[in-house]
Chain A
Amino acid sequence: MAQWKRICTLDEIPRLGARVVERGAPPNIALFRTADDQVFALLDQCPHKQGPLSQGLVTDTHVTCPLHGWRISLVDGQAQGADAGCAATVPVQLEDGWISLESSHESH
C-alpha cells in the first residue's frame, strides 16, 4: 500500500511554476502547478540530457527543458514534436490544498 506524505500546500508552488523535492538519492522529483491549479510530478531529468525539468518554463500541461528546449508533457512525460523520449512520471495527490507524494517512491 502506498504511503502518502504531505509535501507542501498548493500555494507554495507558483502558478505555471515548479518546485524541487529531494529524495534520499538523485534524481529529485519536480512538482509542477499549471495555470488551472492541476499538479503533476516528474522525475527531475529530461530524457534528452538529464536537464532539470523543474527549472523549465511551464505552459499549459507541458514543460520546456531549460538545457536544449525539449518539450515534455506533464501528463505522461512524453517528449513532444519530433523528439522521442519519456520522462518518468511520479504519482502525486492534491487533496484539501495539500500536495502529497508516495513516501516509498518508485519511478514509473
Chain B
Amino acid sequence: MTAHPPLNSLQPRPIAERTRPKLVVVGNGMAGVRTLEELLKLAPDKYDITVFGAEPHPNYNRILLSPVLAGEMTLKEIILNDVDWYENHDIKLNTSSRITRIDRVLRQVFSADGRVEKYDRLLLATGSTPFILPIPGHDLPGVLSYRDIADTDAMIEAASRYHHAVVIGGGLLGLEAANGLRQRGMTVTVVHVMPWLMERQLDRPAAELLKKSLEDRGLQFKLGCETSELMRGEDGRVCALRFKDGSTLATELVVMSVGIRPNTALAESAGLFCHRGIVVNDTLQTFDPRIYAVGECVSHRGIAYGLVAPLFEQAKVAANHLAEYGIACYKGSVTSTKLKVTGIDLFSAGQFMGADDSEDIVLSDPAAGVYKKLVLKDDQLVGAVLYGDTADSAWYMQLLKDAQKVTELRPHLLFGQHHLGDSGHKGETQASSLPDHAEICGCNGVCKGTIIKTIKERGLFTLEEVRQHTKASSSCGSCTGLVEQLLASTVGGAYQPADGLHKALCPCTDHTHEEVRKAIREEHLLTIPQIMTFLVWKTPNGCATCRPALNYYLISSWPHEARDDPQSRFINERAHANIQKDGSFSVVPRLWGGLATPAELRAIADAAEKYAVPTLKITGGQRIDLLGVKKKDLPRMWADLAKSGLVSGHAYGKSLRTVKTCVGSEHCRFGTQRSMALGVRLEKMLFGMWTPHKVKLAVSGCPRNCAESGIKDVGIIGVDSGYEIYVAGNGGIKTVVAQFLCKVASDDEVLEVVGAFLQLYREQARYLDRTVHWVERAGLDFVKQQVVEDLEQRQTLYERLLFALQGTEDPWTEIAANPSHLQEFEVMSL
C-alpha cells in the first residue's frame, strides 16, 4: 500500500466544457499543431478545438520528407502527432477535409466535403503551395512538385519504374529531392536558372564546393539554363525539357522545385488583407481580430518565412494570445539554412553575400572541402556561410541573433569556439564525417547513431530536447557543438539555437537572470518566496535549477540581510563536503596557499585513521582530499581538524576554491616576488566568498609561471617590477587562456584589483557562469573600464566585497559547535 495513491488522471470533465469557446484550426501541419501544443501547455481546457487538414494524415514532420524520399526513413517514423494525440487532448480532427470558405459574419467555416463548423477564434495555418512554372507542358503526367507525402509517394513510385529524372530548381528542396531520387537509383540532372546552386543561401565559392560534392555522388547539373517547355511523349507523359536556347534534355520524370508561395487563397476569398501572405501583426493576429494565422501562409513585417524555426516562434506567440495571456510579441526571426543531404555539412545565415559597407573574413581550402565566410558590419557578425566544417554554426547563429560585438573575438572568430581545447571527443569538429558508432558525448557514452535515431524517432527540434532524451551534451557540455551539428543536419532549418541573451532562468519563469537580479535589487526582495510572488513564478517552490540561483542572488545582493536557505542549496553546500557516487563525502581542509605545518598534516593523518578514510589524495589545487567519509561522521571530523586550526576548504562550493602558489622568491632562485605570501593573503581575504560558480586563483613568483596562472579565474604573475594580473582563464572542460587585465606595482593593489574584479563577477554574472563565460559576454573592455580605469568604481566594488565578507565564519567550526545545525547529519533508525 502507499500512503499517497497516484493521482487519478481520469477525473470527470468539468461541466464548463459545453460553454467553452470554439477554436477552429485550418491546416493540420507543423505550424498549426505546434500552436495547439503551445496553447495546451498554457490553457489546456480553454477551447473546444477542431482541426481541419486537407491531407489524409495526422501532423507529420515535413522536414523529414527528404530522408523518406532517400529511403533513410519511413513515413510512419515521421508522424509527430498520431491520431491518439488528438483524441487524448479532446481535439476533433478532420483529415482529407479542405476548408473552402470562411463566413466571417456568421463565424463559420465550410469544407469541401460538406462540413460546417462555427468558431469563436479561427487559426489559419494553410501553409504554402509549390510554385509551378507557367510553361507549356507543366501539367503533363510525370511532372511533380515536392511538398507533401503524396508528392513523396509519387516520386518513390516513379523511381521504381523510370530511370531518368530532372529536377528543375537548384535550391534547398530541389537538391534534397535530387539526392533522394539518386539514392533510389535514378540518374538525376538538376536544371537551375541561376549561375550557381542555392544562390539564396550560398555565395559562389561555397556553391561550387557543394556542386562538386554532389557530382561525386552522381548528380548532374545544368546551370544557367532556363526551361521554356516540357515536351509530351507518345505515351502522353513528359519526355523531355526544351530550353530557351533550343536545346533539349530527355527525361521520364520532372520534379519542379522552384519555390513556394504562401497559400492565401482561402484568406483572400474571405476578404482578409493579404500581401504576399496573410498579413499579421506582432501577435499573429490578422486584420479580423478573431482570426489568427501562423506559418508559411503568413506575411509578418513584409516577410513570409519558409523554414520551420520561425514558425515555431510564431506558434508560441499565437498560443500566448489565444490563451489570453496577451504578453508575447513576435518580432521576426533570423533564419539559417542547413542542407539535409547525409554527409554534406553546409550552413548559411544572415547577409552572407556581404555588401559595400561590410567586411568578409574568408577561409578557403577547396582540397580539404572546407570553406568559411563570415560577414561583419559595424563590428558585428551579420552573415555566415560554412561548408565542410559547420561545428560552430550554432555559435555564429548566437552571435548573429544577439548582435554581439565581436571586436575581441575577431582574431580567432573564423576558427570558431571549439578550436581552443575542448576535451572529450578527440577534437572532432565534423559530425558528418563520423561513423554511426562514434562516441559524441564522452561523459555519457552516447554515439552518433543513437543521437540521430532519437532525434528522428522522437521528433526533437531543440538541444534541450536532445539532452533530455539522449543525455548527450547534458553533463560537461563540451560536445554541444557536435550535438547541435547533428541536430541541425537532421532537422535542417527547423533547428534554431536558443536565444542566449534573453534566456529564461528556468522553466519555472519567463524572466531572465538579469531581470530577476534587477527585481531583487530594486524591490529589496529578501527571500525566495518574495521573489516568486513578485515575479509570478509558475511553480509552487521552483526547481533544482532556479532555487540555488535565487539563493545566491539574494545573499550576494543583500549580504548580512538576506538569510541563506540551506534547502535551496545543492547537498555539497548544505553538508559542506563533496558527495561521492556511493553517497559518502569527501573532506578537503584548507591549506592556505598550498602550505601546511607538520601539526596540520598530523591532524589530517589522525582524522584519516580515526574515521577509517579509505582514500587520501593530493588534489590539483595543492591540498589533501579525504575521500569516503560517512555523512554522520562529518561534524566530529571537522571538530577534530579544527583543533589544529584547519578550516573548510570549500572544495564543494560555488565559492573560492584554491589559491595555488609557486614557491616564489622566498626560496626559488628565479623568483621575483613573494608568491606564497601574496597567495595566502588573497586566500584569507576571499575566504568564505560565495560566487556564481567556483573560483580558482593562482600566484606565480616569476614568468616561468609554475602555479599555472594562465588557466585560472584570476592568475597573478610576479615580475621584477610588480605583478601582472590575468583573468577569465579556465582549465576544465574548456581550456581557455586567461586574458591580461592590468599590471600593478604592489601587493595591496593586487588585492584591490582582484577584489573589485571578483565583486563585479559576483554582481553581474549569471549563476553557474564561470568567469570565462561572463567575461566573454560582458567583454574584457567593460571589465577593464570598471576595474582598472575607473578608480572610484574599483574602490566601491572592493569595499562592497569586503563588506559582504565581513564576519565570515568557518562553516565547519560553526556547525560542529552548534547542536541545532547537526540535524542535517543525524540518521534516524527504524
Interface residues of A (CB under 8 A from B): 2, 5, 7-8, 12, 14-17, 19-24, 28-29, 35, 38, 40-41, 49, 51-52, 55-60, 64, 66-69, 71, 75-76, 81-83, 89, 91-93, 101, 103, 105, 108
Q: Residue of B at shortest CB range from A71?
A: B544
Q: Residue of A at shortest CB range from B632?
A: A20
- Chain A residues positioned under 8 Å from B566 (CB to CB): 14, 17
Known: A56-B571, A57-B567. A21 touches B541 (CB 8 A): no
**In whole Å, how far is B540's beta carbon from the nearest beta carbon of chain A?**
5
For window 523-563 of B, CB contacts with A under 8 Å fall at 539-544, 547-548
16 pairs of residues in contact across A and B, judged by CB atoms under 8 Å: A7-B830, A19-B828, A21-B828, A22-B829, A40-B3, A55-B579, A57-B544, A59-B547, A60-B540, A66-B571, A66-B579, A75-B6, A76-B6, A82-B469, A83-B468, A91-B2
From A16, A35, A55, A60, contact of B571 by CB (8 A): A55
In whole angstroms, what is the CA distance A12 to B631 when docked?
18
From B4, B581, B828, contact of A75 by CB (8 A): B4
- Chain A residues positioned under 8 Å from B548 (CB to CB): 57
In whole angstroms, what is the CA distance A70 to B1 when docked?
25
In whole angstroms, what is the CA distance A93 to B469 when docked?
36
Q: Is the CB of A15 within 8 A of B830?
A: no
Known: A75-B7, A91-B2. A105 touches B567 (CB 8 A): no
**In whole Å, how far is B619's beta carbon from the nearest beta carbon of chain A?**
21
Provide the B3-28 mask, 1 if CB < 8 A to any CB of A, else 0: 11011000000000000000000000
Question: Interface on chain A toward B: helix, strand, loop, or mixed SS?
Answer: loop
- Chain A residues positioned under 8 Å from B828 (CB to CB): 7-8, 19-22
- Chain A residues positioned under 8 Å from B611 (CB to CB): none
Apart from A55-B571, A58-B567, A64-B543, what 16 extra A-B contacts exist at CB < 8 Å? A5-B830, A15-B567, A17-B566, A19-B823, A19-B827, A20-B827, A55-B631, A57-B548, A57-B570, A59-B542, A60-B539, A66-B570, A66-B571, A76-B6, A91-B3, A93-B3
Q: Residue of B at shortest CB range from A94?
A: B3
Which 6 A-B pairs rank lowest in CB-CB distance, beginning with the nearest?
A: A64-B544, A82-B468, A52-B583, A55-B571, A16-B567, A57-B544
Q: Is the CB of B540 within 8 A of A35?
A: yes
In whole angstroms, what is the CA distance A20 to B542 when docked?
23
- Chain A residues positioned under 8 Å from B3 (CB to CB): 40-41, 91-93
In whole angstroms, what is the CA distance A75 to B541 when docked?
16
Q: Is the CB of B571 within 8 A of A76?
A: no
- Chain B residues positioned under 8 Å from A68 (CB to CB): 475
B541, B543, B544, B581 — most chain A CB neighbours (10 Å): B544
Q: Is the CB of A59 within 8 A of B539?
A: yes
- Chain B residues positioned under 8 Å from A76 (CB to CB): 2, 6
Q: Is the CB of B829 within 8 A of A12?
A: no
- Chain A residues positioned under 8 Å from B571 (CB to CB): 55-57, 66
**In whole Å, how far is A100's beta carbon from the nearest beta carbon of chain B?**
10
Q: Residue of A at shortest CB range from B827?
A: A20
In whole angstroms, what is the CA distance A65 to B542 when docked?
15
From A2, A8, A67, contact of B581 by CB (8 A): A67
Q: Residue of B at shortest CB range from A56?
A: B571
Q: Is the CB of B547 within 8 A of A57?
A: yes
Q: Is the CB of A101 within 8 A of B541?
A: no
- Chain A residues positioned under 8 Å from B475 (CB to CB): 68
Instruction: Answer yes or no: B568 CB below 8 A from chain A CBs.
Output: yes
Q: Residue of A at shortest CB range from B465?
A: A82
**In whole Å, how far is B629's beta carbon from the nearest beta carbon of chain A?**
14
Q: Is the CB of B541 within 8 A of A16?
A: yes
Q: Is the CB of B830 within 8 A of A29?
A: yes
- Chain B residues positioned under 8 Å from A56 (CB to CB): 544, 571
Q: Residue of B at shortest CB range from A18?
A: B567
Q: Residue of B at shortest CB range from A31?
A: B828
In whole angstroms, what is the CA distance A105 to B6 when docked?
20
- Chain B residues positioned under 8 Å from A21 (CB to CB): 827-830
**In whole Å, how far is B5's beta carbon from the nearest beta carbon of chain A?**
8
Q: Is the CB of B1 within 8 A of A22?
A: no
Q: Is the CB of A105 within 8 A of B2?
A: no
Q: Is the CB of B830 within 8 A of A89?
A: no
- Chain B residues positioned under 8 Å from A15 (CB to CB): 567
Q: Is the CB of B1 within 8 A of A103?
A: no
Q: Is the CB of A22 within 8 A of B823?
A: no
Q: Is the CB of B827 within 8 A of A22?
A: yes
**In whole Å, how far is A79's beta carbon from the nearest beta carbon of chain B?**
11
In whole angstroms, what is the CA distance A96 to B572 when docked?
33
- Chain B residues positioned under 8 Å from A57 (CB to CB): 544, 547-548, 567-568, 570-571
In whole angstroms, what is the CA distance A49 to B581 when docked?
8
Q: Is the CB of B541 within 8 A of A40?
A: no
Provide the B448-477 mask, 1 if CB < 8 A to any CB of A, else 0: 000000000000000000001100000100
In whole angstroms, what is the CA distance A15 to B541 when docked?
11
In whole angstroms, what is the CA distance A16 to B567 when docked?
6
Known: A55-B583, A58-B567. A108 touches B830 (CB 8 A): no
Q: Residue of B at shortest CB range from A34?
A: B541
Q: Is the CB of A22 within 8 A of B581?
A: no
- Chain B residues positioned under 8 Å from A16 (CB to CB): 541, 567-568
Q: Is the CB of A81 within 8 A of B468?
A: yes
Q: Residue of B at shortest CB range from A77?
A: B2
**In whole Å, how far is B2's beta carbon from the nearest beta carbon of chain A?**
5
In whole angstroms, what is the CA distance A69 to B540 when docked?
19
In whole angstroms, what is the CA distance A60 to B538 when docked?
12
In whole angstroms, what is the CA distance A24 to B830 when docked?
8
In whole angstroms, what is the CA distance A4 to B1 when docked?
13
Q: Is the CB of A89 within 8 A of B567?
A: no
In whole angstroms, what is the CA distance A108 to B547 when docked?
31
- Chain B residues positioned under 8 Å from A22 (CB to CB): 827-830
- Chain B residues positioned under 8 Å from A58 (CB to CB): 567
Q: Residue of B at shortest CB range from A66?
A: B571
In whole angstroms, what is the CA distance A19 to B824 when docked?
8
For window 151-206 of B, CB contacts with A under 8 Å fall at none
**In whole Å, how far is B510's beta carbon from the nearest beta carbon of chain A?**
18
Q: Is the CB of B567 within 8 A of A14?
A: yes
- Chain A residues positioned under 8 Å from B826 (CB to CB): 19
- Chain A residues positioned under 8 Å from B827 (CB to CB): 19-22, 28
Q: Is the CB of A101 within 8 A of B2?
A: no
In whole angstroms, what is the CA distance A28 to B469 when docked?
30
**In whole Å, how far is B582's beta carbon from the nearest beta carbon of chain A?**
8
- Chain B residues positioned under 8 Å from A59 (CB to CB): 539, 541-544, 547
In whole angstroms, what is the CA distance A92 to B4 when docked?
9
Q: Is the CB of B2 within 8 A of A108?
A: yes
**In whole Å, how far is A95's beta carbon from the nearest beta carbon of chain B?**
11
**In whole Å, how far is A75's beta carbon from the nearest beta carbon of chain B?**
5
- Chain B residues positioned under 8 Å from A52 (CB to CB): 579, 583
In whole angstroms, what is the CA distance A103 to B829 when docked?
10
Known: A57-B568, A66-B571. A51 touches B6 (CB 8 A): no
In whole angstroms, what is the CA distance A82 to B829 when docked?
34
A24, A67, A108 — most chain B CB neighbours (10 Å): A67
Provide the B763-802 mask, 1 if CB < 8 A to any CB of A, else 0: 0000000000000000000000000000000000000000
In whole angstroms, what is the CA distance A17 to B570 when docked?
12
- Chain A residues positioned under 8 Å from B544 (CB to CB): 56-57, 59, 64, 69, 71
In whole angstroms, what is the CA distance A3 to B220 when docked?
81
In whole angstroms, what is the CA distance A69 to B548 when docked?
14
Q: Is the CB of A103 within 8 A of B830?
A: yes
In whole angstroms, what is the CA distance A89 to B540 when docked?
23
Q: Is the CB of B1 within 8 A of A12?
A: no
In whole angstroms, what is the CA distance A84 to B571 when docked?
24
In whole angstroms, what is the CA distance A108 to B575 when docked?
30
In whole angstroms, what is the CA distance A77 to B830 when docked?
21
- Chain B residues positioned under 8 Å from A41 (CB to CB): 3
